[in-house]
Structure 1
């Protein structure tokens, strides 16, 4: 597929999301959404993330339904190992009381991991298949986009981080009350009324930096990883050794990014749940 494009066109095609928007003339796709304004849907990101979310639910539910107290199957043992791993980290990090945190941490870890693992799929496979499907219905393959790694889309990582941010605010108000939450923003780190404006600026920046760092860290690592895979693919017939080496390295990096996102979520919610 790389031979059909110049290098810059090839990279741009692989890093472009399949977009859908509404215009005055109806529903538009891809290039026709360039001037659509704010409301543009990245349908490939939505499809892959939702599909992988359902895959997570299906796999873990099937393991739960077939679970036995006797000798477990390999899949049951693996699922139990993942659950125990997440549960141990929650118990050692989260110091409040909530039945939501452990399931939330498990969902974040496995879901983000599945989305990250899409980075190991050879970069030409899914775009080529999508192009062939497009041509079968009369659409030029050059105008068919399918970005298969959801975490390389800043919209998705910000959406995940925004969900965590809402929970931070929720637990802060639930544990401390509205007055306690306002006092936390205005009387720290300098516990004097004269420093309320300074405290408010510092604490607001700290509060907003949490979801911002969550979103940008995950996006930056995965986007850079996908870009390197695409650059390797432009080499042509000599790409296989480099692709294999980079993929082996990423077998460690991809779970690590999911783990970091999960752990930072637990830490932030633990801080929000402290009542002192």
Structure 2
């Protein structure tokens, strides 16, 4: 029993260990970088192909799918973004599609790509970039940088600084409290974006790994319903990240 438990623990740890190099802050997760870039290229190539083959006549399946996604994202932007910025809609579309593709990797058989990687001489291989906290924080910090940039661009340094000092309490004696509240609010935005996506996808991946440890005759009974339910989760997480990004950038464009 102890040997079996040790084997199960080793199996779980192996699947949750990234292919990395370096130590501390300078550690690079090569599998996360590779699959993130690869899936980003898949998204760009698919939409470029749809644009090249676009026709005013009877559209093909790819064009229909691309137009459906563009219309869906455009509706979300119109509902949530109250400023004027041509970058927001393409950014929202890229975020939704890229994160969805990252999350979709969780639906592949647990041992499929790691076994292929082992055959190629790779000791570890994590194939779901959104289960890596480095990837989710990288995306959320990029959004945070845009939030600060547009706050400064739209409101100006003076008015943005005034907002930090005199919002929500417009009194000189309460400036320290305003600074504290605003700093916490701004820090909470990238942290919540990163941890929400990471936590949900990490839990989903762990459940798939646990199902893979069960006897072969039980795995299909549990894996198929969980995979169907997980399709909703991966879509919802991509949608939430996209909508919150739109809302945060809309707040950055508001002039007080």
TM band (smaller chain): over 0.9
SS at match of 1:6: helix
Residue 268 (structure 1) aligns with: 248
Which secondary structure state, in structure 2, belongs to the residue aligned with residue 38 of structure 1?
A: helix
* TM-score of the aligned structures, taking structure 1 as reference length: 0.89
Within a 5 Å distance, the mapping from 1:141-156 to structure 2 comes to 144-156=123-135
What is the alpha-carbon distance in structure 2 between the residues aligned to residue 82 and residue 41 of structure 1? Answer: 33
* Distance (Å, rounded) in 2 between the aligned partners of 1:246 and 1:42: 28
| Structure 1 residue aligned with 2:21 | 20
| Offset, 1:38 | 2.2
Q: Please give the alpha-carbon distance, in whole angstroms, between the structure 1 residues aligned to 2:152 and 2:184.
A: 18
Structure 1: gaps of 5 or more residues: 22-35, 135-142
Instruction: Please give the per-residue CA displacement for 1:5-58, whole angstroms capped at 9, x wherever unaligned.
Output: 70000000000000023xxxxxxxxxxxxxx33211000000000000000000
Report how far residue 126 of structure 1 moved: 0.8
Q: Counterparts of 1:205 and 1:261 in 2: how far apart (Å)?
A: 19
Structure-to-structure mapping, 1:166-205, within 5 angstroms: 166-205=145-184
Paired residue for 2:55? 68
* CA–CA separation in structure 2 for the residues paired with 1:48 and 1:113: 13
Determine the structure 2 residue equivalent to 1:41: 28
- The SS at the match of 2:21 is strand
Q: 1:209 aligns with which of 168, 173, 188?
A: 188
Cα distance per residue 1:122-150 (max 9 Å; x no partner): 1011111111121xxxxxxxx71110000
- For 2:128 and 2:172, locate their aligned partners in 1 and report how far apart those are by CA, in whole Å: 49
Question: Any unmatched runs of 5+ in structure 2?
Answer: none
Partner Cα separation in structure 2 for residue 127 and residue 19 of structure 1: 14
Shift, 1:253, TM fit:
1.1
- 1:96, 1:154 → 2: CA distance? 31
For 1:1-276, what aligned pairs fall within 5 Å after superposition? 6-21=7-22, 36-134=23-121, 144-237=123-216, 238-276=218-256
The alignment partner of 1:99 has SS state of coil
d(CA) in 1 for partners of 2:215 and 2:26?
A: 38
Number of aligned residue pairs: give it: 251
Tell me the distance in 1 between the aligned counterparts of 2:117 and 2:220: 23
Structure-2-length-normalised TM-score: 0.96
> Hey, which bits of structure 1, 4+ residues long, moved more than 2 A?
none
- CA–CA distance in structure 2, aligned partners of residues 162 and 236 of structure 1: 42
1:213-260 CA-partner distances (Å, limit 9, x unpaired)? 000000000000000000110003121110111000011111110000
In structure 1, distance between residues paired with 2:220 and 2:124: 24
Q: Deviations over 1:58-87 (max 9, x none)?
A: 000000000000010011101100000001
Alpha-carbon distance in structure 1 between the residues aligned to 2:185 and 2:142: 17
